[in-house]
Structure 1
Amino acid sequence: METSSDAIEYTVHDYSSYSTHFYPENILVDDPSNSKSRWTTQQSEAVHWILLRLNKLSVLKSITFGKVSSHPCNMKEFKVYVGMTPENMTEVLHSSLKNDPIRETFSIRHHNSTGHCFPTRFVKIEPLTVFSPSYNTSIWHISLTGIINEVSVEEVKEDYDRFRETRVMQHILKHLRQRRLLTPFNSILTQSGVRLEHPLITELYESVVLTGNWDKAETVLHDMSAAGLFDQCLKSSNPRAVWREIHDTDANGDIPSVRGGHAMCIDCQRRYIYLFGGWDGQTSLADFWRYDIKEQRWVVLSANTSLESNGPGPRSCHKMVYDSKTNSIYVFGRLDDQDRPTSRAQTRNPESAGSPGFNRSSGAADETPTLSSRPMPSSEFYRYRCEDNTWEHLDIDVNGPRTIFDHQMVMDSEAQILYVFGGRAAEKDYDYSGLHSFNVRMKKWSLLQYVYLSCRTKFFIQFSLMSRATDSTIPSRFGHSMILEPTTRQLYIFAGERDEKFLSDMYIYDIATNTATEVFSDFTSSGGPQPCFTQRAVIDPTLQEIYIFGGLIHDRATLSESSNWLYRYPSRPGKWQKIQPLKGLHKNPTPSSSSSPQITANPPSRFAHQVVYDLPSKTVYLHGGTMMDSDSAKLREGNDGQTEEAPMKRLSDFWEMSLWRLSSKELIRRSAYLIRQQRFKEMCETQAPVQSLIYLQNQVSEVVNHDDPGETQLFRSLLTHLLMNSSPISTVPSAIETESPRNNYAGDAKPQTDSSLLNISTGNSSDQLGHPGLLQSGLDSAHISSEPLPDLSSQNRTDTKIQTSEDPYERKLHPTKDPMSQECFVQRTKTFEAILEFVDDDAKQPAGSLLELVDVDADLL
């Protein structure tokens, strides 16, 4: 299928309203010089929208909004819907625009959750908010791009139609099986050839629901794990952070002193961590350290690099990267004790990244720099050769960045290219910096992206006279994060500060095409962290995960309470999750649990710290930084009525963090707990109470996490089934009531007769099915907690259309056994579908119900 994008032509099909002279058709023309070239809604509380009809059936991949200038009428927040008809449309984008003249392009979701691409004929844009609430909403221009080749689009349509047909049939099959209509279920399954689920899931269904073969059901769980049917659940589960403070020293018992705004890098092959410089609250530092991970020892490489030949001087807010191909370290940038602003816009703010009281405000509007007013300063670019412990002072040509601070730098060792983005100049104009690259082999700098400078409503372009930034320009910033994805050769740039505002956007810069795409305009609204400054980030390209630590939020004075985040990026736009600490270990761990993580205290929230990631061991190392002292984590009012800085405390602590992840053994344990709950409930109706109680104390107890209050509460509540005179599970409809007990559904338990086992409060878990002693495991365990199993909705109640008699297919499976009651069938089905929560989507029946597709009017789907 063709994947290239072309312009998509369209017409305005319908709209909610318009104001005089501001017709909907105006969005077809991109005319920035005409102030009337826009669609403007009427001012009302009604929902506003505009519906576009594509000239040809297409696959919509992006939408671009043209703008003229900042304007109170400009649309801010909006939604985009697509569909084959105006009556049936799907939301594919929810985002917001900036109030500036820079056009913005947004990627449109054109694959469904199963990965199938879908075509569209209609596009609906729904404005939600405007920059000035008292004004009407205006859209100046809309352009669309995507796949328009008729052959390719027809292939997409045919594939999507096949998917829809299959999915409808899967829902029908699910509906029939839930209602015990097994004969028509099997007939349709055979004739249609539709695959409802993985064969192991079918085997699990028959073992749990139809035959009650509990031992076989648990064996199937292990087969499912071996077949990888739990992989999606394991990958999507939220890992838990296991922190350990490192107290190692050098040969003299020393460690790097307290500091913030320092730099670190790691040599993963030799297992070395390098640390250089920083600000200790009084002065900039120039000491250079190395930590040996294998030997667990610090080494002072230089007490003062400024005394070394060609060595860098004291500094903070610089950056340092390691080049694995040449075994070298590159250091760039600086903020030293003399680098202080004198701008008239000074305010009293916390220090920038641990530097000496630096004000982060940009210069006044009339101090806009020009190329002629910028003499090239002395280079602050160094290379350290690890083999011979020597420094080299490197030059920066006219295409390189100025001396900057609070920038970000990454190294592409395979290509031997260094990338530097953002930061602010350490000179009196304190200008922002753009995106640059340094070719190590050619010793040559290149300017990859210009940067526009916003001073209230004016826009200027660095290194370009009167040119205009494009929609692929990444707004420059400082105190941000930048990550190199080595497989796709893309840069992930996010957060930081610009124009005295903390950011929560994310851009992906494609190195090969020199283009940038905005992934999030506000990742906070998408479940990510708050806008933050001087947070740190590292990447695991094998897991396709980015880990974010710490940073300032809000008014430059508050540390995030939940400051550690995980960002998964296999698919756009990616997903955010908080990294919570792992809490609680089993009180009496067994020998098999010796590999369980040992949990210590967690590091306090901070900013201006440094982190590196050891990929082979998948371990994060964190050092130092600045934290708000005591409980003074907010700006406070001084005696003179001025705002004072909150007290700062610089740190010298050193931590390692690994992520405890959910294992397949844990999912097997949880599934076994569900199965044994159901087995026990049925035993209570068919066997002697003592036998049932012994089964509860042995077989059920061994798969319970007794450190989890929810699981423990549910485990103890199971005892009530022994005390009840009757249970819903034993209520057999009179139409099929028999004389024989249903003891064949409970299976044969192997009870022990030790009377000490009758104390229900003293059961201990073992690790036979995986270690259950970790209190919080990263996957919501609601379906095995004190809450009931997921309901199959009202259709499973006695008064609905579930077949109340045994289906002929059941009789074929067990011709000599008594029929199962309707209530037993419902309870077993609940158990089966609760286990399906752990199974990959493509291996199980679809989510949802056919009943959800029926409209209130009963004749609309």
Structure 2
Amino acid sequence: KGDVWSFTTTPPPPIADFSATPLSGNHPLTVSFTDQSSGDITKWEWDFNNDGTIDRTDTSTPGTFNYTYNTAGVYTVKLTVTGPGGSDDEVKTDYISVFLPLRIVTTTLADASTMKPYSQAVCAEGGIRPYTWEVYTGVLPTGLLMDNNTGIISGIPTKDGTYNFTIRCTDSAFASDMKDFSIKVERNWTQKCFTTSPSARQGHSMAFDSLRRVVVLFGGWNNSGIFFDDTWEWDGKDWTQKSPSNKPSARQWHKMAYDSSRKVTVLFGGYSGSSSLSDTWEWNGVDWTQKSSVNNPSARNEHAMAYDSSRGVVVLFGGRQGGNYFGDTWEWNGTEWKQKNPTNKPPARYGHSMAYDSTRGVVVLFGGFNGVVLNDTWEWDGTNWTLRSPSSKPPARACHDITYDTSRGVVVLFGGFDNGYFNDTWEWDGNDWTQKSPANKPPERDWHSMVCDSSRGVVVVFGGKASNTISLGDTWEWNGNDWTQRSPVSKPSARSGHAMAYDSSRKVVVLFGGRDSSGNRLNDTWEWNGTDWKLINPANKPLPRESHSMVYDSSRKVVVLFGGYDGTKDFNDTWEWDGTDWVVKNPSTKPSARSLHSMAFDSSRNLVVLFGGTDGSSYFNDTWEYDGTNWIQKSPVNKPTARDGHAMAFDSSRGVVVLFGGLSSGGTLNDTWEWNGNNWTQKSPLNKPSTRLGHSTAYDSLRKVVVLFGGFDINSYNDTWEWNGADWTIKSPADKPSARYNHSMAYDSLRGVVVLFGGLVVGGSRLDDTWEY
């Protein structure tokens, strides 16, 4: 009674908590923090990057305040609150994400060349990935496309010019950046109409490049014991040999498959003549690149491969190394090989073949050899192999080939070997094999190669070993009904001193005459439609000759030919070609007999203009005009010096005939003259080609320039120049014809290309190549 008590109480510890907004953004990022702590608090300590250093201390309620992050990164934020009852921490891990602002970092794009594969990446940094890319304004060069996911601009440019456009990159937070770019596409020379083909061979491999629409062939072996390391491409008309900087070593019994997602042909293994190989190579249409993988199928040959487009992998099965047969399954994803371990699988074997059925999503395997010849059918779905049991099937065989015909949805099988050679054709629809009965078919063979050209809907077979064990070099195509043997396209024989003109009404380049490799003068007529040369057999034609001149008279729709040399005499006859026959004309007046003169058609006045030439003893400097009835000699006040071997073209935009170079009594020339119908005017360009004769010119009406190529002085040339009416500009195409002279050119106005054929090289060899610029 009467006691006094005192009590001391300890308040509970505070509870730390906070919120912030925004939680992500580009730097500098200002974040609004709000304290949401509770309890009795006397101090708030903030560590905005959790580095152990207090960045802000408050001794009274901070409420809402701002903090700015000036460096990109992901930040953990820690708040420590302290009061009479103790302290508490709130740590929010990876709470604030600060990004670099989205920025396109690519500054320029490489220039391109027409008909040359092109690939350039536009790159960005910052922002929130993934990015989306687009051409925001302007257009890319014709033939190029931008990948919206990667920013890669690729394709094959088909039209020259300067293309300006704006690229926009958008990140996942919808922030974007834009930048202006320009790609200059230079006109390029493209060789046309190859009539060569791979030499006879067996054990080679092929794949169809669906991006460039060509069949790719590599390697093989022939009866002389030669192993090949050459690369060829078939476009449905001609075989073209490629000249890569790098390539696999010579081999046979390797396999190839086209990876359509990465746009490369993949090659693995083979036999070098002394050992099996285990290297992996990829062909992008320009060069071969050797690939490396941590894991790799063992060295082998006579295996099979197919590309599974649904899963983006090349599938490999089997093969052999010496007497060891393999039954393993591997897949290549473009970076590494991975071995698969299916529950079921075909017995080990070699000499089998595989194809990917894209409709059903399975790789189909047929036949081969493992001590006995096989005729079993298996399918791989990416997980397991399944043995199929068709009611009918091809006889047992090895060294055959199969491919999937995408247009008809069937696997096609041709040829092979058991006790004898086969030339039968079978098709697999996923349920059964059906033998076909074509009217025509390739001879019996094995070790050929076969692929489907999906762009043209045909199966292509090349080469192999015939029943007499001789290597083959023939090309065949299967359209689902019949086999057709393909032969290289015919073309004019090698020659020089011929003449060409473009017939715009019939849309063909006309070629006449020249001198062949045996020294014979020619009088054959050919026409080029942009794809093929066609030999014409008219009822009438001029006598054989070289060094004549031809132009197309668009007002009367005829090609006009004058003069030339037959080895003993010069001509002064005038002929006209109407597309069907040659007709000799009989004008009352005409130039004297001559050769190595030049002509151009003045379409503004509808007259053929002729200047100069030689009769073997004198050079001429006379100017003549032909109106379709008569030749009329002109009497200009000024004119070029007498010459031969010069070239002329009519510039329709300025209404003048342009003349360049040639040979005079004083030597080779490099002067430029223009004829306006009344007088010649010598031009004084700042730049010009070197002195020469035997060059050729053509007027490109689309780009309004005269194009000059080649010629001869001390050496022959293969330079390309363009005249715009004021100056000559030398061009630098990525590809170009070899040096030559006494060739001929004509401008195809429908397709916008200069066409060049043939010519003479130093040493006397004549050429039979066709180029377009």
Q: Report the TM-score range of the alignment, normalised by the length of the smaller protein.
A: 0.3 to 0.5
TM-score of the pair, normalised by structure 1? 0.32
- Say which one has the larger Rg: 2
- Which is bigger in relative contact order (C-alpha 8 A, separation at least 6)? 1
**Structure with greater strand share of residues:** 2
**Structure with greater helix share of residues:** 1
